[in-house]
Amino acid sequence: MFRQIFLAALLAIVMCSPVNADVYRWVSGDGSVHFSDVPPRDRPYSPVRVRPVTSLPMHENLKQSEGVERHRKGVERLLADGSENYATRKKAEELEETCQDYRNQLQNIQSQLRAGYSNDRGNGLRRKRRVVSQAYSRECILR
């Protein structure tokens, strides 16, 4: 009986031990790169160092997941309390940023027009100024 338990334990240890196989890399005549655990006989090869597998304990993942969940719920609670206020403020900030971008574009086009250009270039700038000005009026002034 003791012998059977000993053999079973020995078999389990042997079966669970990590397998160490050498890996080799070589380039064939057509330029293809090959990897194998058997080195080629007719070609130069180089051994490849294979790093051991890294595993993370599951309980660490669960702890991190619980922390993330707590933070997410806290953010949801904050947003739920003033979600309308927050959404309105955020939309107003985005609109102001867009309007400022239009003003900067118009100012840049105007300064280029003052610098003087040929007719074709000037006409293109005036056309661009008209498009940007219409978008600025539609999105920022007429709201």
Q: Is the pTM value of this prediction over 0.85? A: no
- Close Cβ partners of 21 (under 8 Å, ≥ 6 residues apart): 37
Residue-range definition of the domain harbouring residue 91: 86-143
The first and second tokens of residue 3, run together, are 């012998």
Name the one residue in this structure whose structure tokens are 């389990």. 12
In order along its 143 residues, the chain shows pLDDT tens digits of 777 887 777 666 656 555 566 889 989 889 889 988 888 888 899 998 888 877 666 666 667 777 778 888 888 777 776 656 777 778 888 889 999 999 999 999 888 888 877 777 888 888 999 999 899 888 888 86
**Domain check: are 97 and 143 in the same one?**
yes
> What pLDDT is recorded for position 83?
57
> What pLDDT is recorded for position 18?
54
Total length of the chain: 143
Residue 26 forms part of a structural domain? yes
The first and second tokens of residue 136, run together, are 């600025």
Nearest to 36, CA basis, from 28, 26, 44: 26
**Domain check: are 45 and 91 in the same one?**
no
Residue 125 forms part of a structural domain? yes
Residue 67 forms part of a structural domain? no
Which residue type sits at 100? Q
Residue 76 forms part of a structural domain? no
Residues 127 and 113 sit within 8 Å (Cβ to Cβ): no
Rounded to 5 degrees, φ, ψ at 97 are -65, -40
| Domains contained in the chain, number | 2
> What pLDDT is recorded for position 93?
86
